[in-house]
Chain A
Amino acid sequence: MPDTIMTVDDSASIRQMVSFTLKQAGYAVIEAVDGQDALGKLDSSAAKMIITDLNMPNLDGIGLIRAVRANPAYRFIPIVMLTTESQAEKKQEGKDAGATGWIVKPFKPDQLLAVIRKVLG
């Protein structure tokens, strides 16, 4: 069975692009539109990894990472955040919250897959 990856983003186009790339590479994908949505879907998802945007309504990326790490079942799940070049502090904040890595937007499908292989194997 392929590994399941959850992509969390309020931008439909980014979600679409990420999920298309991942499916092409043979992963199963679960989409969530914001942090809250993601948390709600997490338990039933059996996700092996989370890719999340940081700026989202309701529950932002940082909040999502904190909440996921607080869940014993997902303490060690790799979480990659999508940041933009101008978000140095955000990146640090995300790391402090427990993010495993990050991808700087804009990115190409290859770069996305490289990072996934790096943290998921």
Chain B
Amino acid sequence: MDQNESIFREEAYELLSVLESSLLELEQNPVDNELISKIFRAMHTIKGSGAMFGFDKVAAFTHDIETVYDLLRNGKIIANKELIDLTLSSCDQIRRMIEGPDEADADEAARLTMAFQKFLSLVTDKTGQDKPRQAKAETKELLSPEPANQKVTYRIRFRPHKDIFSRGTNTTLLITEMRKMGVCKFIAQTDEIPLLSELNPEYCYTYWDIMLTTNQGLNAVKDVFIFVEDDCDLKIEAVDEDGAEERDEYKKLGEILIERGDVSREVVEKLMGDHKKIGELLVVEGLVAPDKIRSALAEQQHVHEMREKNRAADTSSTIRVPAARLDRLVNMVGELVTVQSRLSQLAAQVNDADLVLVAEEVERLTAELRDNTMSIRMLPIGNTFSNFKRLVRDLSEELGKQITLVTEGADTELDKTVIEKLNDPLIHLIRNSIDHGVEPPAVREQKGKQRQGTIRLTAQHAGAHVLIHINDDGAGLDAEAIRRKAIEKNIISADDKLTEKEIFALIFAPGFSMAKTVTNVSGRGVGMDVVKKGIDGLNGTIVIESKINVGTTITLKLPLTMAIIDGLLVRIAESFFVLPLSAIEECVELTRADVEQMHGRNIVHIRGEVVPYIPLRERFGIMGDPPLIEQVIISRVGDDRFGLVVDQVIGQHQTVIKNLGKFYRQIKEVSGATILGDGTVALIIDISQLVSGAVAEES
């Protein structure tokens, strides 16, 4: 560029001397247009070249002078001595500016600029023109890159005027340029090409329908056609923006043709009556050229393809949010649910139809919001699953076994907190399967099994629960061996009669271990009871099924979420309690007569089955007499049914679970609390803990 600079300097000095002599001549002959043009051109060149070679100050300074001389040239003003004096001193100023930035006197430049602007303002006021602004608007016109990341599909109909070639435009190049911008489909429309005898080879008869999907923004698309705007009919429409993703429907062929103005709505509607393909019909009837149909079809396909692509991209387009924020959101939704139930209660009390209407609306919205928020917290269990692959690989190698882990239903979603708490129990269970379940390869071969064992980890939805199966094709549980071991460890007594399922459940007892030798994998008798506790903590259940030499399946049944549950609201005296609805089977009445009939034993007969119950009033030490008719809530804990006696069943309640303070954490029977509509606190009862506590006390 240095070389350019010196060339510019030389040229500028030359121009400046031309300017000086011309200006002096102009003083003698102020209306000589040829002279004025010469001065204008010189200024123009200084300005243009100055800007080009980095003499921005020179260019800026010359701009106003050039404008004044343009006016002079057009006869808008007439040169006077003042103007010529000004211009001459400007020439000196320009010379100084070119010689070096240090030589130039900024104040002098400002003074001169002001003076020229005064000239301009005189004229612009008169003619009402505002040149500088106009100039500014234009600089933006060409090649303006515009940041836009959104992918938009444009439908472009580019119909060049016939004589477009006479301006040296090559239409093919425009098309090539567009191709570089994104995914692009061209359909050339040839219906206007005349017969050979009438064809003028210098004319452009073809026009194009273009589908372009690009993220470069509308301006970039328009820039492609910037030189030919006036030489063509150009229609650019956005047909499918990223934002419109929600729409699952695609535009029908007829719609597209109508939008493009290729056919009228009436015609389409008329033809829609016949149940044939609209495109074929339009062609048969000669209403639309085949190319146009082809083009509309291409649009349909293009939009389709782009959406498919977007969808693929969408799967990864997620945002990460700190879990704490999510928890706060859930808490707030919880508060909202509470407030809403207060509103509903109030509305019911006041019994004002309008208020009830609003309350119901709020209830509906709250429920939707709750479900949505909960779904945000849902995570696929797959991440946890993939952790286990490594575990299985390392452990089986360590134990000299060949085991593959097969996972199914990795996309099953569970509440974030559930998944977090599920990790440890699952590790224990899988370790157990590896250690106790799957046999070493040699043993497997003897049994006629494949050397390689399989552990299958599957997750599936079942109503408001998720079932997780851990299945192995190993040795299976030996019920008799477990029984012996349990007797040995004093977990059961020798004369206890237990079903197979009950025996299997013994492995979850604290201190129970089947391992003959203690490995670092298992055998210390801690683990399975931890699993049981963990799953209980999640309000889940564990079931074991096993067959000797076929394998063992452990099934975990877990609630989808833990933050808000459906509960049954009950009352004892003045206290309210919530029982998790998922564990409840039915409610029956308990009269004084029923109680007397059983001679003080806490049991009820339900359709021939004897069900023990726990009078909660007694258990919780609530003062006062029970009502004449009490309610027994029959709930299922594991395989057994237990009744819980309360004064009154109030009804189903959306329960926002609040943790109890530190001080109350050790109370096993209560898993949390919730706030009722009127602000009262209701304790949430952990039924399985309550029952096992009561059973333990009995024995």
Contact = CB atoms under 8 A, between A and B. Distances in A.
A88 interface: yes
B114 interface: no
A118 B51 contact: no
B138 A75 contact: no
Contacts, number: 107
A45 interface: no
A77 B202 CA distance: 13
B37 to A, nearest CB: 8
Contacts of A75: 165-166, 202
Contacts of A12: 7, 10-11
Contacts of A102: 142, 227
Nearest to B44: A55
Given A20-B4, A86-B70, A121-B176, A100 B227 contact: yes
B49 A88 contact: no
B357 interface: no
A75 B139 CA distance: 29
Interface stretch (B167-175, B461-469, B685-693): B167-175
Contacts of A11: 11, 45, 48-49
A16 B143 contact: no
Given A11-B45, A88-B134, A100 B169 contact: yes
Contacts of B176: 121
Nearest to A78: B168
Interface centre among A102, A105, A106 (most CB of B within 10 A): A106
Interface string A1-17: 00000000011111011
A99 B41 CA distance: 21
A106 B52 contact: yes
Contact of B138 (A77, A85, A100): A85
Contacts of A13: 4, 7-8, 11, 49, 52-53
Contact-residue bracket for chain A: 35 or more
A78 B53 contact: no
A79 B227 CA distance: 11
A118 B139 contact: no
A105 B227 CA distance: 16
B99 interface: no
Contact of A104 (B8, B40, B66, B139): B139
Contacts of B165: 75-76
B157 interface: no
Contacts of B339: none
Contacts of A121: 170, 172-173, 176
A98 interface: yes
A85 B41 contact: no
A46 interface: no
A57 interface: yes
A103 interface: yes
Q: Is the interface of B mostly helix, strand, loop or mixed?
A: helix
A82 B227 CA distance: 13
Contact of B167 (A85, A86, A95): A95
A115 to B, nearest CB: 8
A100 B173 CA distance: 13
Contact of A88 (B44, B138, B177): B138
Contact of B52 (A17, A69, A85, A88): A17
A118 B173 contact: yes
Contact of A98 (B59, B63, B138, B166): B166
A55 B230 CA distance: 23
A102 B134 CA distance: 18
Nearest to A11: B45
Interface centre among A12, A57, A77, A98 (most CB of B within 10 A): A12
Contacts of A100: 167-169, 227
Nearest to A57: B41
Contact of B131 (A16, A82, A86, A99): A86
B177 A118 contact: yes
Interface in A91-121: 95, 98-107, 111, 114, 118-121
B67 interface: yes
Interface residues of B, number: 45
B138 A16 contact: no
B427 to A, nearest CB: 60
A104 B52 contact: no
B186 to A, nearest CB: 17
B483 interface: no
Interface centre among B10, B52, B226 (most CB of A within 10 A): B52
Interface centre among A13, A76, A118 (most CB of B within 10 A): A13
A14 B141 contact: no
Interface in B158-202: 165-170, 172-173, 176-177, 202
A82 to B, nearest CB: 8
B135 interface: yes
A99 B59 contact: no
Nearest to B170: A121
B177 A55 contact: no
B47 interface: yes
B166 A104 contact: no
B169 A78 contact: yes
Nearest to B136: A85
B167 A99 contact: yes
B4 A16 contact: yes
A76 B49 CA distance: 29
26 contacts: A11-B49, A13-B7, A16-B7, A17-B53, A55-B45, A56-B41, A57-B41, A69-B166, A75-B165, A75-B202, A84-B47, A85-B136, A85-B139, A86-B63, A88-B134, A98-B167, A99-B167, A99-B168, A100-B169, A104-B141, A104-B142, A105-B51, A111-B142, A111-B143, A119-B169, A119-B173
Given A75-B166, A88-B138, 14 more contacts: A11-B45, A11-B49, A12-B7, A13-B49, A14-B52, A69-B166, A78-B170, A86-B70, A98-B166, A98-B167, A105-B51, A105-B52, A106-B59, A119-B227
Interface of B: 3-4, 7-8, 10-11, 38, 40-41, 44-45, 47-49, 51-53, 59, 63, 66-67, 70, 131, 134-136, 138-139, 141-143, 165-170, 172-173, 176-177, 202, 226-227, 230
**Sorted from nearest, which 7 A-B pairs have the closest CB atoms?**
A106-B51, A101-B227, A100-B168, A13-B8, A78-B168, A105-B48, A13-B49
